[in-house]
């Protein structure tokens, strides 16, 4: 979080949209747009993240507006919750700051045939089983190991590779964004150090805001859509949130430094060094994209392997196969990524580099990249909240496709830095307070739980209501947490 408030201009467009006019700073190529209602905008301006929205508007080749979703907060270069598209044919750039350090941090949602009563019979035992099965924590290595040559195949093929190795089912890939693999990944442009950091971390949760959460559907807003996803009030689901671990972090770190030089080489004037970038079609831009795609593929492989471990834990705990338990993947979406996508702009289709930094793809009904059985509804959009409130399943809309390049929010968004959250806990037992709400939580240490306490986040119910009212995604159902494991 930034330690200063923002005092720039904001023009109210409607109940859910605020404009930062292009005239605010010389060099902005377009307006900024923040999605927030009257109440939320008061919190948004206590952080300086709107300044980052304005700064992103300086990027060469930017198309449409520089946007931020209602979960906006201060990030590296781009704000968290930021979205921007650039046109390579007009000198459009790619910026690691528009993707983030945890490349393809994302979330997947698994349904089950279990009921809340069945899970609550020994909820603490189930959470302990998950905690024992899924490796959690900083730098933690797992039991799923690959040689260096195998790791190169993994980062080229993504989730497909680990499914082929027996960690999942073919239909899992059909329910994963991009089928779990971005084409164009180039293992040769990834450093030896990145491979070292990624070794042994596939199938591990990591730390920070990553989690595995057992949930129950407690409210349905669209009965037909919920039924199409195999859900109803009382359905038990499992949500998995993780990314590319040390592998992706190392790639981002190295390429941020190299693209600072590239920006200088191509004489790109930027208001913030953290927006280091290169033209998409330049050698430097292509090398970054090749490495970033490797990290994105690693993250999809990681979440696929994590789901395999979750299925194993449930199988052992309930003494029933994952198939008998109905443990099917509903969908997996990326939150931190830059992708080449076709969008209609100015009456013609253009191939754009869409940066989503703490933002979720939300493609509409009928889009060919939406799984066939969901195509009449739109792409599933999964929005995790904090471990004390709720998470949501929504669907993408045509409005999002027309206005935000098919993008919506990605979560609740922080209102406290991790340091502030630890201080605010004052030694109180976060796990005990959650237990008073009927939520069982396990973490590697009390500081990690304090960092991720509900008070550190905006109310996800409010955030989701804004994107629903703005038409960027449409609510299907809400899931309440029952048990959580954290790194």
Q: Please state, in angstroms and rounded to a whole number, the distance separating the CA atoms of residues 148 and 192.
A: 10
Beta strands (DSSP E) in 335-455 are 336-345, 348-357, 359-361, 380-383, 391-396, 407-409, 440-442
Tokens of 395: 């669907």
Q: At what angle do helices 245-265 and 283-318 cross, to 10 degrees?
A: 170
Residues 273-307: b if buried by 16+ CB within 10 A, e if exposed: ebbbbbbbebebbbbbbbbbbbbbbbbbbbbbbbb
Q: Which long-range contacts (CB under 8 A, 24 or more apart) does 428-432 make?
A: none
Cα-flanking dihedrals φ and ψ of residue 418, to 5°? -65, -35
* Tokens 């190529």, located at residue: 29
Contacts of 122 (CB under 8 A, 6+ apart): none
Could you give the residue ranges of the DSSP H alpha helices within 266-282? none
Beta pairing partners, 93: 279
Q: Please state, in angstroms and rounded to a whole number, the distance separating the CA atoms of residues 327 and 175.
A: 13
The HSE-up count of residue 133 (CA atoms within 13 Å, CB side) is 20
Q: Please state, in angstroms and rounded to a whole number, the distance separating the CA atoms of residues 355 and 263.
A: 18
Residue of 343, 410, 426, 462 marked catalytic: 410
335 tagged catalytic: no
Q: Please state, in angstroms and rounded to a whole number, the distance separating the CA atoms of residues 299 and 309.
A: 15
134 neighbors 313 (Cβ within 8 angstroms): yes
* Tokens 């700051």, located at residue: 97
Tokens of 407: 């993008």
Q: Please state, in angstroms and rounded to a whole number, the distance separating the CA atoms of residues 313 and 307.
A: 10
Residues identified as active-site: 410
């Amino acid at each position: 979080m930034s330690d200063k408030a923002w005092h720039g201009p904001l023009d109210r467009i409607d109940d859910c949209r605020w404009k930062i006019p292009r005239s605010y700073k010389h060099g902005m190529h377009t307006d900024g747009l923040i999605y927030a209602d009257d109440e939320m905008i008061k919190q948004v301006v206590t952080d300086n993240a709107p300044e980052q929205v304005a700064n992103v508007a300086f990027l060469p080749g930017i198309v449409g507006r520089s946007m931020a979703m209602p979960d906006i907060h201060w990030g590296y270069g781009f704000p968290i919750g930021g979205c921007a598209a650039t046109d390579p044919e007009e000198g459009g750039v790619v910026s690691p700051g528009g993707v983030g350090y945890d490349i393809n941090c994302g979330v997947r949602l698994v349904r089950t045939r279990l009921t809340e009563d069945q899970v609550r019979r020994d909820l603490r035992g189930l959470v302990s089983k998950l905690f024992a099965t899924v490796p959690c924590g900083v730098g933690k290595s797992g039991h799923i190991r690959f040689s260096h040559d195998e790791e190169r195949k993994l980062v080229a093929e993504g989730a497909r590779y680990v499914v082929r190795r027996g960690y999942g089912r073919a239909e899992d890939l059909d329910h994963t964004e991009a089928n779990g693999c971005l084409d164009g990944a180039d293992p040769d442009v990834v450093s030896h150090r990145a491979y070292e950091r990624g070794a042994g971390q596939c199938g591990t949760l990591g730390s920070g805001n990553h989690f595995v959460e057992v949930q129950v559907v407690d409210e349905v807003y669209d009965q037909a859509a919920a039924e199409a996803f195999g859900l109803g009030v009382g359905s038990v689901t499992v949500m998995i949130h993780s990314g590319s671990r040390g592998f992706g972090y190392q790639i981002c770190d190295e390429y941020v430094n190299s693209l600072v030089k590239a920006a200088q080489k191509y004489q790109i004037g930027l208001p913030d060094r953290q927006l280091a970038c290169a033209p998409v079609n330049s050698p430097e831009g292509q090398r970054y994209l090749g490495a970033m795609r490797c990290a994105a593929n690693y993250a999809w492989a990681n979440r696929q392997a994590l789901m395999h471990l979750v299925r194993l834990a449930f199988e052992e705990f309930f003494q029933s196969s994952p198939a008998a338990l109905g443990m099917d993947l509903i969908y997996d979406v990326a939150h931190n990524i830059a992708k080449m996508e076709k969008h209609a702009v100015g009456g013609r289709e253009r191939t754009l580099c869409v940066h989503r930094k703490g933002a979720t793809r939300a493609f509409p009904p009928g889009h060919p990249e939406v799984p066939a059985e969901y195509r009449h509804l739109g792409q599933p959009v999964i929005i995790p909240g904090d471990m004390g409130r709720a998470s949501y399943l929504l669907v993408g809309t045509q409005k999002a496709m027309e206005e935000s390049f098919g993008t919506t929010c990605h979560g609740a968004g922080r209102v406290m830095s991790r340091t502030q959250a630890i201080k605010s806990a004052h030694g109180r037992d976060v796990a005990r307070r959650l237990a008073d709400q009927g939520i069982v939580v396990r973490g590697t240490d009390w500081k990690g739980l304090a960092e991720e306490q509900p008070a550190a986040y905006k109310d996800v119910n409010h955030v989701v209501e804004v994107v629903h009212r703005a038409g960027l995604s449409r609510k299907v159902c809400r899931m309440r947490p029952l048990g959580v494991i954290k790194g």
